């Protein structure tokens, strides 16, 4: 049965290796594309209708405000169904120990019962945070596997780590 890679990623100004840098493609999208190349899984980008600001500091303020109020931002689109998938690779940047709120919106939209979720995140030092626990809470019928934390500043060199993670999931 085919797999899906559902991911949230943000380009524009980002915090990378201790500096603010402008990215044309977000770090999580780079990782999602690698997983797609290695697995052939379908790609689905999680995008809120109202994107965060391009400016890093404004984006941080907006994202923190969403997290504080437990927001569920509406998404631009949703897959028609997840029925054709038994495996979901779920990608996101680590925002203050968990996922961006748009990922919560996505997870709450569908029933993941009987599906296996493989989380992966990009971060600048905080790893997976509590995101795996949050996914288990939001998707009680799913099997949530150990996630892969990828240092965002080194994402372009992450292919070997991603390959190893994918091989471990097959074992």
141-144's contacts with Cβ under 8 Å and 24+ in sequence apart are 141/111, 141/112, 141/113, 141/114, 141/115, 142/88, 142/112, 142/113, 142/114, 142/115, 142/116, 142/117, 143/115, 143/116, 143/117, 144/116, 144/117, 144/119
Q: Which residues of the chain have pLDDT under 70?
A: 171
Task: Tokens 């290695």: give the residue.
Answer: 38
Q: What is the mean pLDDT of the chain?
A: 96
Write down the pLDDT at residue 169. Answer: 80
Contact (Cβ atoms closer than 8 angstroms) between residue 98 and residue 135:
no
- Domains (range + CATH), the chain: 3-170 (3.40.50.360)
Is the whole model's pTM more than 0.95, yes or no? yes
């Amino acid at each position: 049965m085919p797999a899906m890679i559902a991911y949230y990623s943000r380009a524009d100004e980002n915090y990378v290796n201790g500096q603010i840098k402008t990215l044309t493609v977000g770090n999580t999208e780079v990782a999602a594309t690698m997983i797609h190349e290695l697995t052939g899984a379908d790609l689905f980008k999680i995008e809120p209708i109202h994107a965060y600001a391009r400016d890093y500091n404004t984006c941080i303020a907006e994202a923190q405000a969403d997290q504080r109020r437990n927001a569920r931002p509406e998404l631009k689109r949703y897959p028609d169904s997840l029925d054709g998938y038994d495996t979901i690779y779920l990608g996101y940047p680590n925002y203050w120990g968990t996922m961006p709120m748009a990922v919560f919106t996505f997870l709450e939209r569908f029933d993941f019962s009987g599906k296996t979720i493989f989380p992966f995140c990009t971060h600048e030092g905080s790893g997976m945070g509590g995101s795996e626990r949050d996914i288990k809470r939001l998707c009680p019928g799913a099997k949530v596997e150990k996630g892969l934390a990828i240092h965002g500043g080194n994402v372009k060199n992450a292919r070997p780590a991603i390959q190893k993670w994918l091989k471990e999931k097959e074992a």
